[in-house]
C-alpha cells in the first residue's frame, strides 16, 4: 500500500510492488457541539486507519490517474519488466474483500498474501514489518470502508509471475520484526523513527540498492534512484537525495526547514518537484505537524559520510560559468544562495550535489511540475531548458554548480544528459 514512494519499483527486489472514512452527519441535523470542558470523541479504528494509510502513501501506489482511489493498476517500470499495483478495495472478486485482518497483517509483516502467495517487495513489506499489530488492524478497518471496485489490473511481466525466488531473496535480505523504541532517545525521535522506517518507507527510495534490488543497509538513506515520469509521456530515472547529515545531504537544513518542506512542499532550502510531489500531496501534507516534525528530528539525527570521490575541478567548472550567468544567476544569485522572491539556494543543495545527477538534469531539462496543492512561496517558476540549452551546455552549467560555492560532486558527462532526454 504505500508508494515505494517512493518507491522502489523493481523486482526480486525485483520486487516492486504488489499493491474516506468520513462519518456522514444528517444534512438536516447538524451535530450538537460538545459541552464546554467535555473531551473530544476518540477517533474510530477506521479513522485512525485512514491517517495511517495517509502516512504510508497508499493512495499514490494504488491509484491510477483519474481512477477510483485504491483500485490499483499503477504501472512500475523495473529492470526485470513491468509490474502493476493491486486493487486494495474490498471487492470480493478483484480486490481484497475476502482478506481477513490476519491476511493483511501477514502481507505487511511477512510479505505473504492471502492464500500463501508471496508478494514482491515492490510492496515494501521490508519496511511495513516494523508497523505495530494495532496500527495494521486500524488500516484494515479503514480499507474495509472503501467502495468496492470491480477492476483487475493488467498482468505483470513474465518474471513477476514466478514467486518461488522470493523465498531465497527473503532469506538473504529480509528481517521480520516490529519497531523497537530506542530508550536513549526522546519520544519525539522514536515517533519519527517509527514513521520514517515503517509506514513512510523512506528508505525504499533514498537508500542505494544492490544488483538484486535489495537495500544496502550499510548505506541507509545515502540516496537512491527510482523510475518516474518527467513529462506526461516520458519515464526517466530520478535520483532520491541523501537524507543524512552529510554536506551533500541535509547538513545545511534545520529541523524547521525540513518540517516545513515535508509538510507543505516548500521551505527556504527547496521546493518539491518530481516524485516527491505525490509523497507530499498524498501523504505528508495530511499528517499532523507534530508527526512531520518528529520525522524531521529523526532524519536530522542520521550521521552521514562525507563525499570522497572525484570532484569537479576548476577547469571543468569554468565553461559553465557564462551559461549560469545568462540563465540561472538572476534567480539563484552569483553566490548560489538564491533569494526569497527568486529561487532556492544551490549552494549546499542535496539535489545539485547528488552522486546520481538524474534529478538535477531533469529539473534543468523539464523544469519543476508544481502540484496545484502546493504554493512555492513567491519564487518565480523555473522554465524548461530542453529546447534552449544543448546537452553540452547543460553538462557545463551542471558542472559549474556542482563545483562552486563549496559544493562537492563528481563531474557530469554528456551521457548523463542524453539519458534523461
CB-hemisphere CA count at 13 Å for 70?
Answer: 24
53-88 pLDDT per residue, tens? 999 999 999 999 999 999 999 998 888 888 999 999
Section 339-344 average pLDDT: 88
Rounded Cα–Cα distance for residues 207 and 356 (Å): 12
The three-state secondary structure class of 415 is helix
Query: Residue 345 has what pLDDT?
Result: 96
Q: Which residue has the cell 523504541?
A: 181
**Contact 108/136 with Cβ under 8 angstroms?**
yes
Strand partners for 75: 84
Per cent of the chain over pLDDT 90 is 79
The three-state secondary structure class of 167 is helix
Which three cell numbers mark 391? Answer: 546537452
DSSP 244-303: SSSTTTTTT--HHHHHHHHHHSB-SS-B--TTHHHHHHHTGGGS-HHHHHHHHHHHHT--
| pLDDT band at 13; cut points 50, 70, 90 | very low
* CATH code of domain 314-418: 1.10.760.10
| pLDDT band at 4; cut points 50, 70, 90 | very low
Section 40-53 average pLDDT: 94
Rounded Cα–Cα distance for residues 45 and 148 (Å): 19
Rounded Cα–Cα distance for residues 230 and 62 (Å): 20
379-389 pLDDT per residue, tens? 778 999 999 99
For domain 187-300, which architecture applies? Answer: Orthogonal Bundle (1.10)
What radius of gyration do the chain's Cα atoms show? 22
Rounded Cα–Cα distance for residues 290 and 192 (Å): 9
Cα separation of the two ends of the chain: 31
Query: Residue 312 has what pLDDT?
Result: 97
Best CA proximity match to 404, nearest among 333, 301, 319, 335: 335
| pLDDT band at 15; cut points 50, 70, 90 | very low
Rounded Cα–Cα distance for residues 53 and 143 (Å): 9
99-127 pLDDT per residue, tens? 999 999 999 999 999 999 999 999 999 99
Residue 96 DSSP symbol:
S
| pLDDT band at 42; cut points 50, 70, 90 | confident
The model carries a pTM of: 0.89
Query: Residue 35 has what pLDDT?
Result: 55
Who contacts 311 (Cβ-Cβ below 8 Å, separation ≥6)? 403, 408, 409, 410, 411
Amino acid at each position: 500500500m504505500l508508494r515505494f514512494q517512493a518507491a522502489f519499483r523493481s523486482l526480486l527486489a525485483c520486487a516492486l510492488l504488489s499493491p474516506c472514512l468520513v462519518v456522514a452527519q444528517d444534512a438536516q441535523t447538524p451535530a450538537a457541539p460538545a459541552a464546554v470542558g467535555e473531551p473530544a470523541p476518540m477517533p474510530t479504528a477506521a479513522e485512525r486507519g485512514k491517517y495511517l494509510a495517509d502516512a504510508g502513501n497508499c493512495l499514490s501506489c494504488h491509484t491510477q490517474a483519474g481512477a477510483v482511489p485504491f483500485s490499483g493498476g499503477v504501472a512500475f517500470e523495473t529492470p526485470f519488466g513491468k509490474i502493476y499495483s493491486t486493487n486494495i478495495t474490498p471487492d470480493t472478486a478483484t480486490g481484497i474483500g475476502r482478506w481477513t485482518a490476519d491476511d493483511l497483517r501477514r502481507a505487511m509483516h511477512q510479505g505473504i498474501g492471502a492464500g500463501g502467495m508471496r508478494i514482491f517487495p515492490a510492496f515494501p513489506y521490508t519496511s511495513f514489518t516494523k508497523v505495530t499489530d494495532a496500527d495494521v488492524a486500524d488500516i484494515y478497518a479503514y480499507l474495509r470502508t472503501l467502495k468496492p471496485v470491480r477492476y483487475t489490473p493488467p498482468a505483470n511481466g513474465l518474471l513477476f509471475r514466478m514467486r518461488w525466488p522470493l523465498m531465497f531473496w527473503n532469506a538473504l535480505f529480509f528481517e521480520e520484526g516490529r519497531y523497537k523504541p530506542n530508550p536513549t532517545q526522546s519520544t519525539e525521535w522514536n515517533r519519527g523513527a517509527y514513521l520514517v522506517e515503517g509506514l513512510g518507507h523512506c528508505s525504499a527510495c533514498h537508500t542505494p540498492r544492490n544488483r538484486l534490488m535489495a537495500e544496502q543497509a550499510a548505506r541507509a538513506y545515502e540516496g537512491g534512484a527510482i523510475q518516474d515520469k518527467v513529462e506526461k509521456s516520458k519515464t526517466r530515472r530520478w535520483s532520491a537525495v541523501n537524507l543524512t547529515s552529510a554536506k551533500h545531504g541535509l547538513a545545511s537544513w534545520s529541523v524547521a526547514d525540513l518540517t516545513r518542506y515535508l509538510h507543505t512542499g516548500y521551505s527556504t532550502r527547496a521546493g518539491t518537484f518530481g516524485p516527491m510531489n505525490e509523497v507530499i500531496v498524498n501523504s505528508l501534507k495530511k499528517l499532523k505537524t507534530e508527526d512531520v516534525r518528529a520525522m524531521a528530528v529523526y532524519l536530522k539525527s542520521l550521521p552521514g559520510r562525507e563525499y570522497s570521490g572525484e570532484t569537479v575541478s576548476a577547469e571543468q567548472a569554468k565553461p559553465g560559468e557564462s551559461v549560469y550567468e545568462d540563465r540561472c544567476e538572476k534567480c539563484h544569485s552569483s553566490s548560489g544562495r538564491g533569494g526569497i522572491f527568486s529561487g532556492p539556494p544551490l549552494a549546499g543543495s542535496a539535489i545539485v550535489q547528488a552522486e546520481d545527477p538524474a534529478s538535477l538534469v531533469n529539473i534543468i531539462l523539464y523544469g519543476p511540475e508544481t502540484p496545484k496543492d502546493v504554493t512555492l512561496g513567491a519564487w518565480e517558476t523555473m522554465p524548461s531548458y530542453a529546447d534552449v540549452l544543448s546537452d553540452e551546455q547543460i553538462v557545463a552549467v551542471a558542472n559549474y554548480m556542482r563545483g562552486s560555492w563549496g559544493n562537492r560532486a563528481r563531474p557530469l558527462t554528456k551521457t548523463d544528459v542524453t539519458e534523461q532526454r
